Amino acid sequence: MSFTLNEGENIALIGENGAGKTSLLLAATGILETASGTIEINGIPLDRKTIHAVRRQIGLVFQNPDDQLFMPLIYDDIAFGCRNLGLPEEEIRTRVDETLQKLNITHLKDRSALKLSGGEKRMAAIATVLAMKPSFLMFDEPTAFLDPKAKRLLTGTVKNLKHPKIIATHDMVFAAEVCNRVIVLKNGRLMADGEPPLFHNHELMQEFGL
Amino acid sequence: MKSKTHELYVLEQLAGGHTWIHRIHPTVKLFTTAVFIITIASFDRYAIGRLIPYIFYPLLLMVISETPYPVLMKRFLLALPFCFFAGISNIIFDRAPAFTICGIAVSYGVISFFTILFRTYLCVMGVLLFVSVTPLAEITLSMRRLRVPYIFVVIFEMTYRYIGILFEEAHSMYIAYSLRSTGSRGIKMRDMGSFAGQLLLRSFDRAERVYHAMKCRGYALQTLPKNGRPAEQKDWLYLFSVCFLCIVFRFTDINASFGKLLGGFFHAQNK
């Protein structure tokens, strides 16, 4: 498959289970090694030497926020990435506070992830990557485990983020609201690349197992 | 079990406190803890009396850091069986009498048994208090600053994270199991093997996903902060005070000196 994410684009990556959505996101961050082909992020080809530079550009929000929130407090989780960037403690504090304010979750700052609701965990997981100021964002099933209220909140938040995004999802309503481009995957291959009206082509969607 | 999982992180949460000791430079705290432990370990196995003055360190740290004693004691109790079984053989094999109290002979084995217990108590308390006043991120950063090999730092951090994951996975598996086991409490012996195996596989899988999430956020232990906080006057003062006291207690018998002082005082009073 071959595609480019441009400035201002929000791509919905859709496909049946096992189509390769998550694998594609993991490959883009260098977590999964590709057998062939190239991945280029902001002009930097992804390889062993550039992997850290590439990861600084990408903010990947995992499907399960529990995988992303592993520190005792939300503050520490958000600060984790900034610390790995080698930032001084004062700047880390500023970045964490800014991110919490941006997402309206300042009340979660000193709380443990173990005590948060699904929606709060999801927002905290987004904050962990936003604090690193990535060039673009990738979401893996962002609406999974969320109730309708949390989903509405998330939709508004994701829409407000100016970064270009790739969103792997099964949630067509969410994708239609947030994304301006659709890529359909099947068995690890790119089957279609178009605009949101693609969602309404039911025959095509059924053909792709959706 | 959920509350147990939460308890695991209590010490780390306490590390986010704002007392005077929390603000001491992490490398200084790491170094003083190491000095404290090494000094304690250097004593003879019968020197229980010489270890008593060292109680000052955990006691002071606990009061200053406002760390609740039960939190520490619960964790110490986990280490107790290990030192208990390590020391029990001394009572059996080292039976030479050391002294008698009210006609009861106390053997060298008993003294060394209690020395092991007390030594373990001091060392475990020292480490627990260090963890409760220093965030994990600062501990690993200090280890890296002290040039501890990369692999040891990673093993330390990953082991710490894995314990939490193991508990969380065990919790969700136990709930799923209980809901389908009719009326019985706990895990049946016949299911124990598959439960443990599944737990291992699930926790490995989860640990890998957590590690991926860490790597995605730049976890590679390659970037040290460019302008880390330098040690201040109070840090140096703390370092020298603790090290000085540890060394003084090591090379002078404070108990004997104190005894002589008291003896001299009562002698003068009687005159």
pLDDT bin (cut points 50, 70, 90) of residue B222 is low
Give the domain ranges of chain B.
2-221+231-255
Does residue B114 have a pLDDT over 90? yes
Tokens read off for B271: 């005159």
- Closest CA in chain B for residue A137: B216
| Interchain CB contacts (distance < 8 Å): A and B | 95
Q: What is the pLDDT of residues B148-200, one digit of tens each?
A: 888 888 888 888 888 888 888 888 888 888 888 776 678 888 888 999 999 99
**DSSP bridge partners of A173:** none
Partner residue facing A52 (CB), from B9, B141, B222 = B222
Transcribe B13-55 into DSSP letters. HHTT--STGGGS-HHHHHHHHHHHHHHHHTS-TT-HHHHGGGG
Nearest to B217 among A80, A110, A114 (CB): A80
- Residue found under tokens 């709930």: B175
Q: Is B65 in contact with B18 (CB distance < 8 Å)?
A: no
Residue A142 has pLDDT above 90, yes or no: yes
Which tokens go with B101? 């109290």
> How confident is the model at residue B93, as a pLDDT?
86
Could you tell me which residue, B227 or B208, shows the higher pLDDT?
A: B208
* Contact (CB<8Å) A67/B214: no
User: Model confidence at B102, in pLDDT bands (50, 70, 90)?
Assistant: confident
Q: Which of A110-114, B196-200, B213-217, B261-265 has the lowest mean pLDDT?
A: B261-265
Q: Which among B27, B217, B224 is the top mutation candidate for probing chain A, defined by the most A β-carbons within 10 Å of its own β-carbon?
A: B217
Residue A87 with chain B: CB contacts under 8 Å: 225
Residue-wise pLDDT tens digits, B123-134: 999 999 999 999
pLDDT in tens, A79-110: 999 988 888 888 999 999 999 999 999 999 98
**CB-based contact, A27 to chain B, within 8 Å:** no
Tens of pLDDT, residues B57-86: 999 999 999 999 998 898 889 888 888 888
For residue B248, pLDDT beyond 60: yes
Q: Best residue in A26, A58, A71, A85 to probe B by mutation, most B CBs within 10 Å?
A: A71
CB within 8 Å: A132 and B218: yes
State which H helix or E strand residue B196 sits in: helix B189-216
Contacts of A71 in chain B (CB under 8 A): 12, 136-137
Cross-chain Cβ contact A67/B209 below 8 Å: yes
Which of the following CATH numbers is that of domain A10-71+135-207: 3.40.449.10, 3.40.50.300, 2.160.10.10, 1.10.357.10? 3.40.50.300
Using alpha carbons only, how large is chain B's radius of gyration in Å?
24
Distance from CA of B36 to the nearest CA of A (A): 27
